[in-house]
Amino acid sequence: MHIETLRWEGDRPGHVQMVEQTLLPLEHVEIAVRTVPEMVDAIYRLAVRGAPAIGVSAAYGVLLGIQEDAGMEAGALVAKVGEVCDTLAAARPTAVNLFWALNRMRAKAEKDHAGGANGEGIVSGLFEEAHAIFHGDRDTCRRMGEIGAELIHDGDTLLTHCNAGALATAGMGTALAPMYVAKEQGKTIHVFADETRPLLQGARITAFELMHAGIDVTLITDGMAARVMFEGKVDAVFVGSDRIARNGDVCNKIGTYSVALAAQAHDVPFYVVAPLSTVDPSLDSGDLIPIEERAPEEITEGFGKRTAPEGVKVYSPAFDITPARLITGIITEVGLIEQPTMAKMEDALRRGGVDLSGIETA
Ligand code: MRU
């Protein structure tokens, strides 16, 4: 059984219960999130993090903003849904699942309004949509896990960066899902987890999650990834993503690009596991992906201890781009995209039912 990252608690009115991930691994506790500002804060603080989990949280955040407004005039309610979506969209800039989920919620309200729904109809439609996003994420994770597990052999040692596990989704994770399915299939696997500077999602969250699941995990610092590959200890790399451009360039946690370069240098297959909701069809290159910059204190005094001189200059991009040419394959819910190109990405998007009209395709 995987750790449950978040859930909607109660019916209407209800609230969100989520694991407070900033306290892991020392404390495994849940917090209640009851308002839109609380949800924005939870996303910004990384109480909930990981692209798919951010998307699901945003969808539930919309419910927090409108659940008491069923008596409102329908047009005014749709306008309020738009405002709530704009507020939630400002929480973090890079993970496209946030905007994907908000666009679904906005579109649902508009469609129901256009279809003649009153305030009550729009609110109940939004509840259905948010729960569909939650359950869709769970199903997608499992599907990616099944596809990815075919690439894992009994006895393999895998390497992962950041946390793209259950705690980054509503389900069993993205990059870690193939590992969980491989374990279910009786394969024995070992995992190197990069620590993932500066916020240590690998040390705090991935190591915790894999140990909890009974998977053999060894923690290394980010700088050791190339070394363990040089030593011939890694059979494949599995990472998640926050946004994938239409040409297959992958944005993920800072340090992923270095892992991909090291993997190429040592002939280690480099796989990205991500749902189609992480693909941004509007961007034809990774260069166009907005990269979040985090506060300098996360580096100079992370976890409350100053480790750099007072006044030092700091640059802190939270994500980087791995070019498509370094990627062996992208595992999505519609299958494995080997050596991704724009044409292959567009084909997968079409198979996943994504509307590419209005986009100048390859
Ligand atoms: O800053 P975070 O912790 O939200 O970054 C998370 C990552 O980079 C994950 O690898 C990515 O979101 C994929 S999660 C399934």
Average pLDDT value for the chain: 97
Provide φ and ψ at 322, rounded to 5°.
-100, 120
| Ligand 1 and 241: CB distance under 6 A | yes
Mean pLDDT, residues 202-223 taken together: 98
C-alpha 337 – ligand 1 centre gap (Å)? 21
Domain extent at residue 304: 146-351
Give the model's pLDDT for residue 67: 98
Give bridge partners of residue 238 from the DSSP assignment. Answer: 271
SS3 of 288-311: the string is HCCCCECCCHHHHCHHHCCCCCCC
Q: What is the pLDDT of residues 287-313, one digit of tens each?
A: 999 999 999 999 999 999 999 999 999
Residue 2 reports pLDDT greater than 90: no
| Ligand 1 and 51: CB distance under 6 A | yes
> Are 113 and 189 in the same domain?
no
Nearest CA to ligand 1 atom 15: 164
Give the model's pLDDT for residue 63: 98
The residue whose CB lies within 8 Å of the most ligand 1 atoms, and thus the one to mutate among 19, 48, 49, is: 49
* Distances 212 to 72, 165, 187, 251 between C-alpha atoms, Å: 46, 12, 17, 28
**Dist CA 210 CA 177 (whole Å):** 11
> Are 125 and 241 in the same domain?
no
For residue 253, which atom of ligand 1 is closest to its CA? 8
Mean pLDDT, residues 192-207 taken together: 98
**Dist CA 240 CA 49 (whole Å):** 12
C-alpha 205 – ligand 1 centre gap (Å)? 11
Last residue of a domain, one of 105, 121, 142: 142
The structure tokens listed for 345 are 């990405």
> Are 263 and 342 in the same domain?
yes
> Are 261 and 305 in the same domain?
yes
Mean pLDDT, residues 61-82 taken together: 98
* Distances 81 to 32, 36, 102, 123 between C-alpha atoms, Å: 22, 11, 10, 10
Contacts of residue 199, defined as CB under 8 A and 6 or more positions apart, other chains included, come to: 46, 294, 298, 302
| Ligand 1 and 52: CB distance under 6 A | yes
> Are 336 and 321 in the same domain?
yes
Give bridge partners of residue 259 from the DSSP assignment. Answer: none
Give the three-state DSSP class for 37.
Answer: helix
Give the three-state DSSP class for 120.
Answer: helix
Give the model's pLDDT for residue 75: 98
Q: Which CATH number belongs to the domain containing residue 256 in this structure?
A: 3.40.50.10470
Short-list 362, 358, 359, CA closest to 283: 359
Q: What is the pLDDT of residues 236-276, one digit of tens each?
A: 999 999 999 999 999 999 999 999 999 999 999 999 999 99
User: Does some domain include residue 138?
Assistant: yes
Contact assessment for residue 264 and residue 225, using Cβ atoms and an 8 Å cutoff: no
For residue 205, which atom of ligand 1 is closest to its CA? 3
Active site residues: 242
User: Does some domain include residue 356?
Assistant: no
Residue 1 reports pLDDT greater than 70: no
C-alpha 43 – ligand 1 centre gap (Å)? 12
> Are 27 and 128 in the same domain?
yes
With the CA atoms of 302, 308, 311 and 317 taken in that order, what torsion angle do they form, in degrees rounded to the nearest 10? -50
User: Does some domain include residue 236?
Assistant: yes
**Dist CA 217 CA 185 (whole Å):** 18
Last residue of a domain, one of 118, 142, 166: 142
- Give ∠ CA 191-178-288 in degrees, rounded to 5: 95
Residue 317 DSSP symbol: B
> Are 165 and 191 in the same domain?
yes
| Ligand 1 and 95: CB distance under 6 A | yes
User: Does some domain include residue 71?
Assistant: yes
Structurally, the chain folds into a number of domains equal to: 2
> Are 297 and 268 in the same domain?
yes
> Are 337 and 229 in the same domain?
yes
Contacts of residue 160, defined as CB under 8 A and 6 or more positions apart, other chains included, come to: 175, 176, 191, 192, 193, 194, 202, 206, 237, 238, 239
Contact assessment for residue 9 and residue 67, using Cβ atoms and an 8 Å cutoff: no
> Are 76 and 102 in the same domain?
yes
User: Does some domain include residue 358?
Assistant: no
For residue 173, which atom of ligand 1 is closest to its CA? 15
Give the model's pLDDT for residue 46: 97
Last residue of a domain, one of 112, 142, 172: 142
C-alpha 242 – ligand 1 centre gap (Å)? 6
Strand boundaries in the chain, DSSP class E: 6-9, 15-19, 30-33, 157-160, 190-194, 216-220, 236-239, 243-245, 250-253, 270-273, 279-280, 319-322, 329-332, 335-338
Give the model's pLDDT for residue 213: 96
C-alpha 206 – ligand 1 centre gap (Å)? 11
**Dist CA 180 CA 2 (whole Å):** 9
| Ligand 1 and 252: CB distance under 6 A | yes
Give the model's pLDDT for residue 298: 97
The residue whose CB lies within 8 Å of the most ligand 1 atoms, and thus the one to mutate among 252, 279, 316, is: 252
Q: Helices 119-149 and 51-66, interaxial angle, to 10°?
A: 170
User: Does some domain include residue 324?
Assistant: yes
Nearest CA to ligand 1 atom 6: 50
User: Is the entire prediction scored with pTM above 0.95?
Assistant: yes
Q: What percent of the chain has pLDDT over 90?
A: 98
User: Does some domain include residue 181?
Assistant: yes
Q: Which CATH number belongs to the domain containing residue 30 in this structure?
A: 1.20.120.420
Mean pLDDT, residues 193-210 taken together: 98
> Are 50 and 122 in the same domain?
yes
> Are 218 and 264 in the same domain?
yes
Q: Would you place residue 90 in the very low, low, confident or very high pLDDT band (cuts 50, 70, 90)? A: very high
Q: Helices 96-114 and 119-149, interaxial angle, to 10°?
A: 140
Q: What is the pLDDT of residues 142-177, one digit of tens each?
A: 999 999 999 999 999 999 999 999 999 999 999 999
User: Does some domain include residue 360?
Assistant: no
Give the model's pLDDT for residue 362: 87
